[in-house]
Amino acid sequence: MTGQTATPSHGLALNSGEGVALALSSEGSALEWVQLLPAGPVLKGRDGRQWKVSDPARLVAQFAPPFVVDYEHAQDKLAVNGQEAPAGGWVEAMELRGGAIWGRVDWTPRAKAAIAAREYRFISPAFTYSPADGEVAALIGASLVNRPNFVMPALNSQEPSMLKEIAAALGLAETATSPEIVTAIGALKVATALNAEQPDLARFVPRADYELALNRATTAEARIAADAKAAHEAKVAAAIDGAVHAGKVAPASKDFYLAACSTAEGLAAFQRFAASAPTAFREIVNPAAGGAGADQVALNAEQLAVAKALGLDPKAFAADIAKRAAARAEAAAA
C-alpha cells in the first residue's frame, strides 16, 4: 500500500496490499455483494499499518453511487498520468453488516471473466484518512488485486445467496438490503406475537367453552341413547306379550325371547317368526278359547295327534292340559 496526500488535511490509502478474497457464486460467476471494508474500530494491515473507523455508518451515509471498482488502483496510479484505467465494475449500493461495509457491484463482462478464471481473487478499498490519527474520512473506490493485506473473511461465504433466499421467504425482492430484511423479520415477529395473544376465533375457542360444549354433547348423547333403549324395550315387550297372548310362544319362554330381541336385528327376526308361527300355546294362556269349559280346552291338531299316538282319551288329555294351565296361572298370580 502507498499513502499520499489527497488534500491538505487527508491522506489517500490505496490498499493494494489489503484485500478481501473474491469467490464465485454457485453458478460460477462473480458474487454481487462484496465486502469493501472490514469491521473496526481499528483496521490493521499485515504490513503493520493501521487505521481507525469510529463511525462506519457515517461512511455509508456519505456514499454517492456509483463509484468505480478498477484494476490494481489504476484510477490513482495510471489515470492521473493520462494512462488507461478501465473500470471492472461499479458499486451501486452500500450497507453495514456487523460493523463491516459491503457494496453491491455491477461487474463488467471483462471483470466477471477475470474473477471466474481466478485471474483476480481479492478486492481492495481506496479511502482517504486523517494523517493525524488515521481516522478513515471517506471511501472513494475499490480495486481488484492479488496481494491481500487486511485480515478479512473470504467472499465465498454464502451470506449473499442466503440473503436472497431469506428475502424470497419473506416475500421481498432479491435486491432487498439487510436493513429491509431485518425490518421484515421484526414485523413477522410482532405479527406472530399478536397471533399468539389473540388466536383466530374461527379456529380456536376458550377451553372453558370447549369443555362446556363437550359436556352438553355427552349428556345429550347419553339421553338420546337412553330414550332409544327405552323405545326399543317397549317394542320388544309389546311384540313378545302379543305373541304370548296369541299362543304363538309359551309364557315360560318369554325371558329367552327378551334376550334374543335385545338388538333391532333380533326384534326384526322375532317379528318374522311370530308372524308365521302357529298358535300352539293358545289354550295354555286362554283356557276358554274355542268355546270349551273352564276345566278343559279344545285340542288342536298337534295335540290330537299326540293323544292318539299315546293312546290317550282326547277329552281326558284336554282336561289335563286345562288343569295344568290353571295351576300355572294360579302360581303366576300368587
Q: What is the DSSP string of 218-240?
A: HHHHHHHHHHHHHHHHHHHHHHH
Question: Which ranges in 138-253 belong to alpha helices (H)?
Answer: 159-169, 178-197, 207-245
pLDDT of residue 45: 75
Statement: the pTM of the whole predicted model exceeds 0.85:
no
In this prediction, residue 217 carries a pLDDT of 81
As a whole number of angstroms, the distance between CA 72 and CA 11 comes to 19
How does pLDDT run along the chain (334 residues), one tens digit per residue? 333 334 445 555 545 444 455 544 444 456 788 888 888 888 887 777 788 999 999 999 998 888 889 988 887 778 777 787 888 899 999 999 988 999 999 999 998 888 888 888 888 888 888 888 889 888 888 888 887 666 554 433 333 456 777 888 888 887 777 778 888 888 887 777 666 656 666 666 778 877 888 888 888 888 888 888 988 998 988 888 888 888 888 877 888 889 999 999 999 999 898 888 887 777 665 655 444 444 445 677 787 887 788 788 888 877 777 777 766 656 655 5
Q: List all residues 6 or more positions away from 331 whose beta carbon is below 8 Å from its beta carbon.
A: none
Instruction: Give yes or no for a contact between 249 and 277, defined as CB atoms under 8 angstroms apart.
Output: yes
Ramachandran bin of 203, using left for φ above 0, alpha for ψ from -120 to 50, beta for the remaining angles: alpha
Q: What would the grid cell of residue 158 be?
A: 454464502
User: Which pLDDT value is given to residue 189?
Assistant: 79
Nearest-angstrom CA–CA distance, 102 and 173: 18
> Which residue(s) pair with 126 in the sheet?
14, 141
Assess contact for 65 and 93: CB atoms under 8 A.
Answer: yes
The one-letter amino acid code at 10 reads H
- Domain coordinates in residue numbering, the chain: 2-156, 158-201, 205-276, 278-334
Amino acid present at 274: A
